Amino acid sequence: MVRLIILILLWHLGPKDRRKGRHKRGPQKIHGTRRGTGAEGPPAPRARASRRLAEAYAKPASDPDDPFAEDDPFAEDEPAPLSREEEQQQRYEEGLMREMERMERSTVHQAVMEAGGLQTRDDLREEYSEISNTYKRRDGVPGDEMADYFANYHPELGIEDERDLIDFLVGMRR
Residues 52 and 102 reside in one and the same domain? no
- CA neighbours closer than 13 Å in the CB half-sphere of residue 92: 6
Classify residue 41: in a domain, yes or no: yes
SS3 of residue 50 by DSSP: helix
Averaged pLDDT, 16-35: 50
User: Does the pLDDT value for residue 172 go beyond 90?
Assistant: no
Does residue 69 belong to any structural domain of this protein? no
- What is the spatial distance between Cα 135 and Cα 154, in angstroms, rounded to a whole number? 18
Q: Is the pLDDT of residue 134 over 70?
A: yes
As separate numbers, helices (DSSP H) first and strands (DSSP E) second, the chain gives 7, 4
Q: Flag whether 158 is in a domain.
A: yes
116 contacts 141 by C-beta, under 8 angstroms: yes
pLDDT over 60 (residue 123):
yes
Output the pLDDT for position 76.
62
Mean pLDDT to the nearest integer, 127-134: 90
pLDDT in tens, 59-105: 555 556 666 666 655 656 667 788 889 999 999 999 999 999 999 99
For residue 18, tell me if it sits in a domain. yes
Report if residue 62 sits inside a domain: no
- What's residue 82's pLDDT? 81
Contact 63, 32 (CB under 8 A): no
Looking at the structure of the chain, the number of domains it has is: 2
Residues 6+ apart with CB under 8 A from 6: 53, 54, 57
Q: What is the mean pLDDT of residues 21-33?
A: 50
Average pLDDT, the chain: 76
Residues of the domain holding 145: 98-173
Residue 68 lies in a domain: no
- Residue 48 covered by a domain: yes
Q: Are strands 141-142 and 118-119 parallel, antiparallel or unpaired?
A: parallel
User: Which residues, 6 or more positions from 146, have their beta carbon under 8 angstroms from its beta carbon?
Assistant: 111, 112, 115, 118, 162, 165
